[in-house]
Chain A
Amino acid sequence: MSTENSARTFEALAADAGLEPVFSAPWEARAFAMALGLSEASLFTWDEFRAHLIAEVGSADRVREHDGSANPGEYYEHFLRALEHLLREKGIASEAELAHKLREIESATTK
């Protein structure tokens, strides 16, 4: 991608457009990168991932239509649930494996 020429102008453009950061927390960036990286490695297609994302977003929308609550910051939580769901379905990462890894990390940090 030939971005060198335009990179110089980016700062001005970003300031002009009032852009917020692309990711609002590091975990959002990691979750996005894992989903894209795994799809580029052909463990699943992006369309398969999108179908799961649409399902997660859709179920939250139905809750919201019902009780009127809204939280615009929750997008990457849907994104993460969609990724976890797809990885379970594909047999790439089971719930038990993830729970085990979580405990392993927690006990390592509390020691």
Chain B
Amino acid sequence: MSDDHHNAAPTGPAARVKALEALLTDKGLVKSEALDRIVDTFEHKVGPRNGARVVAKAWTDPEYRKRLLKNATAAVGELGIAGPEGGHLVAIENTPRVHNLVVCTLCSCYPWPVLGLPPVWYKSFAYRSRAVSDPRGVLRDFGLKLPDGVEIRVWDSSAEMRYLVLPERPRGTERMNENELALLVTRDSMVGVAKVSAPDGRARDAAKSERKASTKKRASTKG
């Protein structure tokens, strides 16, 4: 019976990972505590908040912004941000005329030290295949409609180059300090699938879409 079972179903990934860890532990190549530390680092310590600090500093310190655009690896290093997959980091700046979008068409290259590990959608076939061929459509899917005059530049990440989008600082945030600004900066804005909104703007947008939805609802119940 159990043999039939073995032949029928390929072993699931959870069991294979368990066996692999046990085997590598027997060989003295991995230690459970060391693996725990790596997992903890990527679950709790490295994440888009690092990138948000970089962006907020670039918004408030013009000299830092220049250094970031010139050599991003060195500039994020100034803030104590470094680690695996952090070399060859390039910061690309959004402007009113140019919007930047980052993808890794072949797998999942991503600037870990500033953004953490990539989200599921970034690794998906749909995103990887469409970001280059139909960037405007991809952005629409993310709820971002850019005026026709805005040029979209798509950056394909690789082993050699990792990209961090420096989003535009939203209007209405002139009085906010660096720490407050960092809270506004989202992961998605640093990959280029979103813009950063000012707190007020966000409230206004939400109210607007709520109004729109309720108008639609009324229209559809009438019809």
1/0 per residue, CB under 8 A from A, across B1-40: the answer is 0000000000101111111111110110110001110110
Q: Are B125 and A70 in contact, with the CB atoms below 8 A?
A: yes
Task: Give the residues from 97 to 141 in chain B that come closer than 8 angstroms, CB to CB, to chain A.
Answer: 106-109, 116-117, 119-121, 123-126, 128-129
A20 to B116, CA, bound (A): 12
Closest CB of chain A to B6's CB: distance in Å?
9
Please name all residues of chain A whose beta carbon is closer than 8 Å to the beta carbon of B120 when the two chains form the complex.
Answer: 20, 24, 72-73, 75
Closest CB of chain B to A100's CB: distance in Å?
8
Q: Are B126 and A10 in contact, with the CB atoms below 8 A?
A: no
Q: Is the C-beta of B43 less than 8 angstroms from some C-beta in chain A?
A: yes
Q: Are A41 and B29 in contact, with the CB atoms below 8 A?
A: yes
A14 to B123, CA, bound (A): 20
Q: Are A101 and B45 in contact, with the CB atoms below 8 A?
A: no
- Interface size classification for chain A: 35 or more
Please name all residues of chain B whose beta carbon is closer than 8 Å to the beta carbon of A40 when the two chains form the complex.
Answer: 84
Interface size on B, residues (CB 8 A): 63
Question: Chain B contact residues: over half helix, strand or loop, or mixed?
Answer: helix
Task: Give the residues from 43 to 71 in chain A that come closer than 8 angstroms, CB to CB, to chain B.
Answer: 43, 46-47, 50, 53-54, 57-58, 60-61, 64, 70
On whether A58 and B30 interact (CB within 8 A), knowing A13-B183, A98-B16, A98-B19, the answer reads: no
Closest CB of chain B to A96's CB: distance in Å?
11
Q: Is the C-beta of A16 less than 8 angstroms from some C-beta in chain B?
A: yes
On whether A102 and B15 interact (CB within 8 A), knowing A30-B39, A53-B107, the answer reads: yes
Most buried by A among B20, B79, B83, B84: B20
Total A-B Cβ pairs within 8 A: 170
Q: Are A34 and B107 in contact, with the CB atoms below 8 A?
A: no
Closest CB of chain B to A14's CB: distance in Å?
7
Question: Chain A contact residues: over half helix, strand or loop, or mixed?
Answer: helix
**Per a CB cutoff under 8 Å, which of B11, B121, B126, B182 touches A6?**
B182
Q: Is the C-beta of B69 less than 8 angstroms from some C-beta in chain A?
A: no
Q: Are B119 and A6 in contact, with the CB atoms below 8 A?
A: no
Closest CB of chain B to A99's CB: distance in Å?
8
Binds A, one of B49-57, B59-67, B147-155, B211-219: B49-57
A7 to B45, CA, bound (A): 8
Please name all residues of chain B whose beta carbon is closer than 8 Å to the beta carbon of A53 when the two chains form the complex.
Answer: 107-108
Q: Is the C-beta of B186 less than 8 angstroms from some C-beta in chain A?
A: yes
Residues of A within 8 A of B (CB): 1-3, 6-7, 9-10, 12-14, 16-17, 19-27, 29-34, 36-38, 40-41, 43, 46-47, 50, 53-54, 57-58, 60-61, 64, 70, 72-73, 75-77, 80, 83-84, 87, 92-93, 97-98, 101-102, 104-106
